[in-house]
Structure 1
């Protein structure tokens, strides 16, 4: 039985901007639970005895999240030259690296059922893989043949590469291949370059060239590689739907209540001391945290997850598949379309939003985001200078942590706002705004004489 796991979370996560500026991307909340917490809980359920997480950015928050779990060690490294280097820097923290152990990419959301099933039967050199959902030009992907992983390709054009790697079973002998990693990706299409990084897939290819047979075990449920913000949105929709679909009756914790005038077209799980008040309409299944108030005619769609200590009042509306973090406020008719909202976000005084909002962010009265382009098309996103069109949530807006908008700010479809930034009153934002930046509108005005004489006096 596999007893130890090495989780690789040493990357900078720059494609995940603006949310990587203030956190390790493997800690992004999905359905109100950080990604790494999902993973660790699943590993412990599988019987895992020791888990080592290797991180190079924002490691303190990871350590804090697992401070009560003796099974978890968090290794903070100064920097990583790539996933193979992260592997080497974490190897020494395993209790017994000579025995087979599980190596897992920290930014992959794998369903508990797949992790438990994989580890229950895992043998040395088994690989947990999953089908591509986007073109292989977006990923490091792999090719299969007769149940084996036979090749890895770096952002290959064409259809040769069909799957991605979530993790694999290794032992201490694999370190020798990582130590002599060439520092770049070696299997590329002609004319394509690679960053100078130590990719663990290249070390696997070296081992395969020396005769290692990597057994492909394909996940039965979707696996989400959280590389860009819209991938977090996609994973959140899936997890909300999965969690809410498990409800078969209303579940009310101690002190929870539902007003007789509330309409519930599904089932709800309501946390301690939470209240569903007068004329609230819940249009499907929903999960509501502790000490949260829904009142005064607010509307909640289906497959919605709401955190602890929230208030949703005065005809505010959450659309289908929304997640609202802890300590959030919605009021005065504010509307959310499908969105992932992190902790301590205020959405009050009429407005509309579609997308993702980082924690501790405040939207001013009348803040609105565009969701539909005149050409009915999808917004082309810029990711580290590369243009790409997401298959999901291309027209959503993305606002980083600790940011705010002024009165009547407008976000056009697909824009991203950096962390610790401000979109001031009256701005129509049609391009991405960097971290730690305030943008405001210059206004030309005209003054003319006016008075009672204009009315004939």
Structure 2
């Protein structure tokens, strides 16, 4: 069997993190989210893949190549225009034969669920029981037969949602060619399912575990999920008087300096300098070539490669892009005084603690304060002592 993974989209809800990378290449636990998905499918027994790429596709091609490094075969199809999921799948026509697995590239799923799903007959859609079904397409079934698929509704008909995992045979490509543009101006894969539903051919299969990575704060959930399952791997140097409580991955060439306290699970990439006297708290993932320095506290955050947070800083429950530099004394708040869920642009994150999303190459002067739920665009420069909140567009200069 072959597996098609849709990885062509920009992921606009992830901006500014996708300003120079495709969404599926955003790191989770120091690996691109697409790599986690690929490894899960490989563990389920599939070794032949088609990646549908488009936006910044070369980053995906350069990283995964032909699949040899992963012990599999990867072919590529390019979606030349960003015209929806049906259009993306149609790009893979001719590269698959008979029955195949289709996955959206921005999910976390267990290999055991994939193995169980592969025992179903095509066409089949994977479903999941959600606590907030209004954010997804809801699947209404009678037994396993799908009766209705309702896209995002404020009053959903149940809590079983479409998880973006499908079993199809090549008949689907003929259906895709008959579709019209949706109200959003795209060719929607869910529209292609209507014929199957009308003829009572579409079945559903409930997954035990699934995580969608649609918004930046979902990265923290995925990061935490992936970091619960690794063992210690120490390739770098740990100086004397370092205290480590919990699992740690430390990359080659990295140094943890004296006086540092680490609460695992924690992943630190290659060629990093941590400390002295840093405090790294659980579920933090630090990319390659980073500096987390003296008296800096980092909690439950994702730090992209080549970023410096070197002196008297606090970063909690945040996602920080690559090439950033935080001036001494800069802090990111992660908790509202009223203890209500943090909102970003008015959107509820469903998280009581969430700090900020910071784009690439952001330079913050000394003693800057960043409020909860802030989004800072790429290449932003903030003067010393700046107070930053709300949404800051790319290339903005804050303060004098």
Normalising by structure 1, we get a TM-score of 0.82
Q: Answer yes or no: is 1:140 the counterpart of 2:128.
A: no
Aligned-partner SS, 2:34: helix
C-alpha separation between the residues in 1 aligned to 2:187 and 2:383?
Answer: 42
C-alpha separation between the residues in 1 aligned to 2:216 and 2:121?
Answer: 34
Normalising by structure 2, we get a TM-score of 0.93
Given that 2:8 and 2:57 are in contact with CA atoms closer than 8 Å, whether structure 1 keeps it comes out as no
C-alpha separation between the residues in 1 aligned to 2:197 and 2:184?
Answer: 22
Given that 2:146 and 2:197 are in contact with CA atoms closer than 8 Å, whether structure 1 keeps it comes out as no
Given that 1:233 and 1:393 are in contact with CA atoms closer than 8 Å, whether structure 2 keeps it comes out as no
Within a 5 Å distance, the mapping from 1:252-267 to structure 2 comes to none
C-alpha separation between the residues in 1 aligned to 2:383 and 2:196?
Answer: 55
Match of 1:203 among 189, 192, 213: 192
C-alpha separation between the residues in 2 aligned to 1:202 and 1:336?
Answer: 44
C-alpha separation between the residues in 1 aligned to 2:99 and 2:350?
Answer: 38
Question: Residue in 2 aligned with 1:83?
Answer: 85
Deviation at 1:128, TM superposition (A): 2.3
Question: Residue in 1 aligned with 2:320?
Answer: 357
Given that 1:6 and 1:91 are in contact with CA atoms closer than 8 Å, whether structure 2 keeps it comes out as no
**Deviations along 1:207-248, whole A, 9 cap, x unmatched?**
22133232x222222x121110011111101111233xxx4x
Q: Answer yes or no: is 1:416 the counterpart of 2:375.
A: yes
Deviation at 1:74, TM superposition (A): 2.5
Question: Residue in 2 aligned with 1:372?
Answer: 335
Deviation at 1:118, TM superposition (A): 2.7
Deviation at 1:393, TM superposition (A): 6.1
Question: Residue in 1 aligned with 2:358?
Answer: 399
**Deviations along 1:49-70, whole A, 9 cap, x unmatched?**
3211112211010001112515
Question: Residue in 2 aligned with 1:325?
Answer: 287
Within a 5 Å distance, the mapping from 1:15-414 to structure 2 comes to 15-67=13-65, 69-70=67-68, 71-94=73-96, 96=97, 99-119=98-118, 121-134=119-132, 136-162=133-159, 163-184=161-182, 194-214=183-203, 216-221=204-209, 223-243=210-230, 247=231, 268-271=232-235, 274-354=236-316, 355-382=318-345, 387-392=346-351, 395-414=354-373
Rg larger for: 1
C-alpha separation between the residues in 2 aligned to 1:422 and 1:142?
Answer: 46
Deviation at 1:380, TM superposition (A): 2.2
Match of 1:6 among 4, 9, 18: 4
The alignment covers a number of residue pairs equal to 394
Query: CA RMSD, aligned part only?
Result: 1.8
When structure 1 is superposed on structure 2, of 344-353 and 423-432 the one drifting more is 423-432
Aligned-partner SS, 1:109: strand
Counterparts in 2 of 1:205 and 1:310: CA distance versus 1, 3 Å: same
Deviation at 1:122, TM superposition (A): 4.0
Counterparts in 2 of 1:307 and 1:148: CA distance versus 1, 3 Å: farther
Normalized per residue, which structure has more strand?
2
Given that 2:145 and 2:200 are in contact with CA atoms closer than 8 Å, whether structure 1 keeps it comes out as no
Aligned-partner SS, 1:416: strand
Question: Residue in 2 aligned with 1:452?
Answer: none
**Deviations along 1:289-310, whole A, 9 cap, x unmatched?**
2222112111111211221221
Given that 2:359 and 2:379 are in contact with CA atoms closer than 8 Å, whether structure 1 keeps it comes out as yes
Deviation at 1:34, TM superposition (A): 0.7
Given that 1:152 and 1:161 are in contact with CA atoms closer than 8 Å, whether structure 2 keeps it comes out as no
C-alpha separation between the residues in 2 aligned to 1:123 and 1:439?
Answer: 57
Q: Which runs of 5+ in 2 are unaligned?
A: none
Aligned-partner SS, 1:91: coil
Given that 2:335 and 2:355 are in contact with CA atoms closer than 8 Å, whether structure 1 keeps it comes out as no
C-alpha separation between the residues in 2 aligned to 1:227 and 1:349?
Answer: 32
Aligned-partner SS, 2:49: strand
Deviation at 1:394, TM superposition (A): 5.7
Deviation at 1:195, TM superposition (A): 1.8
Aligned-partner SS, 1:331: strand
